[in-house]
Each structure stands twice: as structure tokens, then as C-alpha cells.
Chain A
């Protein structure tokens, strides 16, 4: 599904990713871990298609197609979703109106008619229930005055609505208390299927207790320095990142 080969990328001429190789297949859950400044968020931003980041070398293939020249919305239309570490506040646009626009713009790009209002409403209710979101919350302005936990829950709610093939969750666990973490993780797990894949970017192991990865990769100085199974995450938790840094 996602095939990254020797990716060198960065912004303003500064190379942050220094040769990333990553292969994600449908049905898989990958975790990308690493110390602060290792390039985790840059990787997610580059895959999602931020304009200010450039690919200097290598390629990003999605379903066999090179997407490195596509805009962020075109990548979203192909089924890539990025859950933000710091979701942006948009005062004046309600969660419901925002998701309606996102869905219908995506459908338009895919050559589909707008989703009928009744279907939309039903879907919103179902997905909100999945993430234990109160209906009053849906009429509030997007992310405005939301707590950290509410913002992250709202990100996963949007993911549930958009049903992406590939979801990248950037530090979704940061700012979550244990109950919110459980709700968010439950939501993600229910959305997991054999046809979609999830890339979890995280600093800590605790999210991986809930969203169990098939593969764990350790990022350091813009490169994946170690890959393994979920046991690697436990090892990292125990030994810290210094162990990796020394080995690299």
C-alpha cells in the first residue's frame, strides 16, 4: 500500500529525513518510535503532503503510484489520513459542517455524488457513539476550546468518518489521560480492517498496549535504525533511546 524508498526530505533546504525505507501492507499496523527530533513528525507531514516540505531524493508510492508531487488534498482523496499532534482550531465552523464539507469534497474528487443528508446524519451518530462523543460537542466550533483529549477524539472521529486506507496517527496519545486513551484506541481498533493500514507515531510505548503493532521501527536522525515486532517497543521502554543512539 505505502512504499517509501530511500526518502530524503526536509524543508527550506534542510534535509531532515536521510534515507527512509518503509513498506506498509493492507491490514498492518506499524509503529514508528524515536526520540524527540528524530524526524517522526516530519515523516508524517511529508507523507501527508505539506507544501513547505520537499522531497530531495527517493520516492513515496501509494498503491503503486508516486504521490510525492500531489497536494495534501489529492493524497487525502486517495485515502491517506493524518491525525495531527496539534489539531488546528477553526472558530466559526462546527464539527458537523466541517466533516460534511470534508466528506463531500472527497466524494466530489472521487466522482461520487454528495452523501444524502440522512445518510450523513446516521453515519455521524454512529461514529460519534463509537468514540463516546456527545452530540452537543458536534455543534461546537472545530477544536475551539477543546481539551487535549477532545481534540484527539475529534481527530479519530474524523478518521472514522473519512474511512481512509492509510491512517497516520501522529502522537495521538500525547495529552490524553488513561480513559481518553482507551476510548481513542478502542475507536482505532474498531476501524482496523484487512484492507486498511495504520501507522502510529509515538514517543511512548503505552499507546501500543492498546493499539498493538505488527511492526515497530525506531527512527533516529532521519533514518530507521532498527525494525522489529512489538517486543522492540517493550525493550525501548525498558532501556530508553540511548541504547539505540549508541548503537547507531
Chain B
């Protein structure tokens, strides 16, 4: 049976279950209809031209975990940030794990979506924000909405600066192989409030998990959001991440995406400007090998004057890996004095590696500054020789040049612990230790 059919019949069972999903009856009913009509996107659609979900849609994924799995701290240690005090929301095979988590309701709500859905005191927030920025017609997002039950819920009230970063971590285990995980995150950051979030999806076995995650983020006036996505999953795991960010006046939302592995990774990162003088930043490093595939689709919707967006994505592709970058910038007629910057630089380490990169600018205002550029190249042979004459062996020299290439993205990481972790992951990937952290 095709995955679509499996999911539609699973939906009936899911819908009949008692649980937090009951609170979202109307949204879910509408969403499953969208998915039923549209199904999984195919390469015939422009936005999916280079990305095939065929293998995934032929696989018999299940949305129901067979058993609840407990993990020890020891087992998850390699995948969590430890040298910094953080809040943690940990899920194992889609089920919240209280033992591994550290949530709070003191001055800020950092907890579960299921809790927020069922407790009356959160109802106004859920009503105001849930499914309000995610587009209704996007089929994979609709699929997630239809199955919404669990995820992270973060509510930062006006003026609150959350001192500790929040880690949202999803583990997949071999106890529930071929699981389709569909976490749904709702993050609301109030006026003048600030928060840092680190999100990670990790398979602990080769059980080939498929994650279709949707995150809605609301940045109220002058809110500051610093969000990091660490994607370094098992080579059999696939991830489709759709993140929708709604920004109010003077807010600044930054998203860093580090894509270091997985069978298929697709990032749909969307920023919507709801007022003027907004700042949106998205940066990424993609470093993959083998037959891995990473696709970044970004959208910045400039709808009001005097706003800025900055995009800087670096890609390093080895062996037969493939990358896609599609950066869409829309500047509406009203959005005068917009300053939109986009850069995508790529290095192909081997002959069989490839990248499809495309800026997509739709500008209707006449007084704007939009710049975009993309490059595809190889490591500079002269630079390699130069480094070698200083005693740096070729492998390390390649590593150092790769670091140098990715450097300006790493420089803007604000959490030291994340920076160190990324440094380490890059070093492991390249199989070198260049002797310093960038």
C-alpha cells in the first residue's frame, strides 16, 4: 500500500482515539482533507523539482509507536548539550520522556503541546496562535496538522528574557522501526522577550525514521529569537522540517541550520513580516557525503517597509551527495526600503557531488536593496599547496580550508556550547583535528 493510503486509514484510528488531538477537531478535519486531495508532493511541482519523496512514499511507515521506550541519560548524552544549563523537552519515538526532560512554568511556559492543548489556562494562547501562520494548503504541513498531538510548547510572556537555552530533542529507537514522527512545535515569544532554542532529531539505530516536523514561531514586537537546528542524523533517517515564523515590529528572528547528515533532509524555512522594521536572519552549513541529500528552501516575505533579511548558506558536498538551495525573497509593493541579502556558496569535493542552487526574487517595490549571489567551486589547489608548504598535511589542509569556508556562519552562533558542538561535528566529519576552534 502507498504511504498516503496507509496514513489516511491510520487517521481514522487516530481520530477515534481519546487524547489531546480532540481539542483540534476542526483544524485536523480540514487538514486531512487537504492532504487527501494533494497527497505527497512530487517532482512535477516546482518547489519539489529536485527533491524526490518517492522512496519515502513507497515505505510502509507507521504513525503509532508499538511500545513506549525508555532511554538512559548515558544513551542520549552524545546528542545533548551538556556543558551549559538548559531546559530540555525530550521525546522518544514521539512520546514525551519526563525523566530526561527539564521543563518549567516559572515565569515562562516550556512544556508540552499536549499539556497546552488540554489545560484550559492555555486555551487562549492555543486559539490565538495554533495553525495561524502555517499555510493551510501546504500538503505536508496539513498532514502534520491532521496528526497533531504532541510537540514542544514554549510561551515567553512580555518582557521576559529566558536565561537558559531550550533544547528540543526527538529520539527514534529501533524498538519502533519505520516510524513516521510528526511533532508539532508552538513557540510564542512576547513583546520585548528573548529566547534561545536548539532543536535536534536523532535516530539511535538504523530503523529509518521519517520525521515530518512543523514549527510555528511568533515573534511579537521587539522579540529576539535565536534558533539552532542541528541535523546530524543516521544515514537512513529522513527529515522534512517546515518552520513558519511570524514577526512583528522590531523583532529579530535568527535561525541557524546545521545539516550534517541523513538520507533526505528538506528544510522549508519561512519568515513572514507582519509589520515594519523587522530583521530576519537565516544561516546554514551543509556538510554531507555518501548519497546523502539536503534541500534548503527559504522564504522571506517582506510586506512592510524598512525591514532587513540576511541569508548566508554554505554547502560542502563530498562523494555522491546532493544539495539544493532555493532562496525565495518576496518584496511587496508596500515594503519600500527593504534590504534583502542572500548568499549561497558551495564546494563540491568530488566529481559526483552536485548542487542545484537558485535565487528566486519577486520584487514589487521600487526602492529596495536586494542582493544575491551563489557560487559553486572546489577547494583552491594553490591554497592547499600553500598550507602544505607550512607543514600541514593535505587532509588537514583540506579540513582547514573547509573550516575557513564555513567560518562566518559559525562566527554568528551565540551559544558557545553549540559552537563547540558544531566544531566537533565538522572535525569528525572531515576526520581531522586542525588544532583550534573557529
Task: Indicate if the CB atoms of B393 and A90 lie closer than 8 Å.
Answer: no
Q: How far is the CA of A75 from the CA of B397 in the complex (A)?
A: 15
Q: Which chain A residues border B389 with CB–CB below 8 Å? A: 48-49, 72-73, 75-76, 80-82, 84
A95 CB, min distance to chain B CBs, angstroms = 12
Task: Indicate if the CB atoms of B435 and A104 lie closer than 8 Å.
Answer: yes
In this complex, the interface size class of chain B, counting residues with CB under 8 Å from chain A, is 20 to 34
Q: Which of A49, A50, A97, A102 contacts B390 (CB 8 A)?
A: A102
Task: Indicate if the CB atoms of A101 and B380 lie closer than 8 Å.
Answer: no
A106 CB, min distance to chain B CBs, angstroms = 4
Q: Which chain A residues border B392 with CB–CB below 8 Å? A: 73, 101-102, 105
Q: Which A residue sits closest to B390, measured CB to CB? A: A102
- 8 A Cβ contacts from B371-395 to A: 380-383, 385-394
Q: Which chain A residues border B391 with CB–CB below 8 Å? A: 73, 76-77, 102-103, 105-106, 109, 162
Q: Which A residue sits closest to B408, measured CB to CB? A: A92
Q: Which B residue sits closest to A87, measured CB to CB? A: B386
Task: Indicate if the CB atoms of A92 and B403 lie closer than 8 Å.
Answer: yes
Task: Indicate if the CB atoms of A72 and B388 lie closer than 8 Å.
Answer: yes
Task: Indicate if the CB atoms of A100 and B385 lie closer than 8 Å.
Answer: no
Task: Indicate if the CB atoms of B404 and A76 lie closer than 8 Å.
Answer: no
- 8 A Cβ contacts from A194-246 to B: none
The B interface, classified by DSSP as helix, strand, loop or mixed, is: helix
Q: Which chain B residues border A100 with CB–CB below 8 Å? A: 435-436
Q: Which B residue sits closest to A48, measured CB to CB? A: B389
A-facing mask of B423-438, CB < 8 A → 1, else 0? 0000000000011101
Q: Which chain B residues border A93 with CB–CB below 8 Å? A: 400, 403-404, 407, 438
A27 CB, min distance to chain B CBs, angstroms = 23
Q: Which chain A residues border B401 with CB–CB below 8 Å? A: 90
Q: Which of B385, B397, B405 contacts A92 (CB 8 A)?
A: B405
Q: Which B residue sits closest to A159, measured CB to CB? A: B390
Is residue B396 contacting chain A, with contact meaning CB distance below 8 A? yes
Q: Which chain A residues border B387 with CB–CB below 8 Å? A: 90, 102
Q: How far is the CA of A49 from the CA of B387 in the complex (A)?
A: 12
Q: How far is the CA of A76 from the CA of B400 in the complex (A)?
A: 17
Q: Which chain A residues border B381 with CB–CB below 8 Å? A: 52
A-facing mask of B242-278, CB < 8 A → 1, else 0? 0000000000000000000000000000000000000
Task: Indicate if the CB atoms of A49 and B436 lie closer than 8 Å.
Answer: no
- 8 A Cβ contacts from B177-227 to A: none
- 8 A Cβ contacts from B356-376 to A: none
Q: Which B residue sits closest to A51, measured CB to CB? A: B385
Q: Which chain A residues border B436 with CB–CB below 8 Å? A: 97, 100-101
Q: Which A residue sits closest to B380, measured CB to CB? A: A88
Q: Which chain A residues border B403 with CB–CB below 8 Å? A: 92-93
Q: Which of B380, B394, B406 contacts A73 (CB 8 A)?
A: B394
Task: Indicate if the CB atoms of A101 and B435 lie closer than 8 Å.
Answer: yes
Is residue A172 contacting chain B, with contact meaning CB distance below 8 A? no
B-facing mask of A96-120, CB < 8 A → 1, else 0? 0110111111100100001000000
Q: How far is the CA of A36 from the CA of B401 in the complex (A)?
A: 32
Q: Which of B390, B396, B400, B404 contacts A158 (CB 8 A)?
A: B390
B427 CB, min distance to chain A CBs, angstroms = 12
Task: Indicate if the CB atoms of B385 and A50 lie closer than 8 Å.
Answer: yes
Q: Which A residue sits closest to B401, measured CB to CB? A: A90
Task: Indicate if the CB atoms of B400 and A101 lie closer than 8 Å.
Answer: yes
Q: How far is the CA of A81 from the CA of B389 in the complex (A)?
A: 6
Task: Indicate if the CB atoms of B388 and A76 lie closer than 8 Å.
Answer: yes
Is residue A189 contacting chain B, with contact meaning CB distance below 8 A? no
Q: How far is the CA of A102 from the CA of B393 in the complex (A)?
A: 9
Q: How far is the CA of A101 from the CA of B393 in the complex (A)?
A: 10
Q: Which chain A residues border B390 with CB–CB below 8 Å? A: 76, 81, 98, 102, 106, 158, 162
- 8 A Cβ contacts from A28-84 to B: 48-52, 71-73, 75-77, 80-82, 84
B407 CB, min distance to chain A CBs, angstroms = 3
Q: How far is the CA of A73 from the CA of B394 in the complex (A)?
A: 8
Is residue A91 contacting chain B, with contact meaning CB distance below 8 A? yes
User: Which of B388, B390, B406 counts the most chain A CB atoms within 10 A?
Assistant: B390
A65 CB, min distance to chain B CBs, angstroms = 17
Q: How far is the CA of A82 from the CA of B405 in the complex (A)?
A: 24
B430 CB, min distance to chain A CBs, angstroms = 13
Q: Which chain A residues border B380 with CB–CB below 8 Å? A: 88
Q: Which chain B residues border A104 with CB–CB below 8 Å? A: 435
A46 CB, min distance to chain B CBs, angstroms = 12
A76 CB, min distance to chain B CBs, angstroms = 4
Q: Which chain A residues border B382 with CB–CB below 8 Å? A: 88
A146 CB, min distance to chain B CBs, angstroms = 14
Q: Which chain B residues border A80 with CB–CB below 8 Å? A: 389
Q: How far is the CA of A83 from the CA of B400 in the complex (A)?
A: 20
Task: Indicate if the CB atoms of A105 and B408 lie closer than 8 Å.
Answer: no
Q: How far is the CA of A92 from the CA of B390 in the complex (A)?
A: 17
Q: Which chain B residues border A158 with CB–CB below 8 Å? A: 390
Q: What residues make up the interface of A, taking CB atoms closer than 8 Å to B?
A: 48-52, 71-73, 75-77, 80-82, 84, 87-88, 90-93, 97-98, 100-106, 109, 114, 158, 162
Given contacts A88-B382, A102-B387, A106-B391, 15 further A-B contacts (CB under 8 A): A50-B385, A71-B393, A72-B388, A73-B392, A76-B388, A81-B390, A82-B389, A90-B387, A91-B404, A92-B438, A97-B435, A97-B436, A98-B400, A109-B391, A109-B393
Some 5 contacts from A to B, beta carbons below 8 A apart, are: A50-B385, A71-B388, A73-B394, A93-B438, A105-B391
> What 9 A-B pairs come out closest when comparing CB atoms?
A92-B407, A92-B404, A72-B388, A106-B391, A76-B391, A102-B390, A88-B386, A73-B388, A97-B436
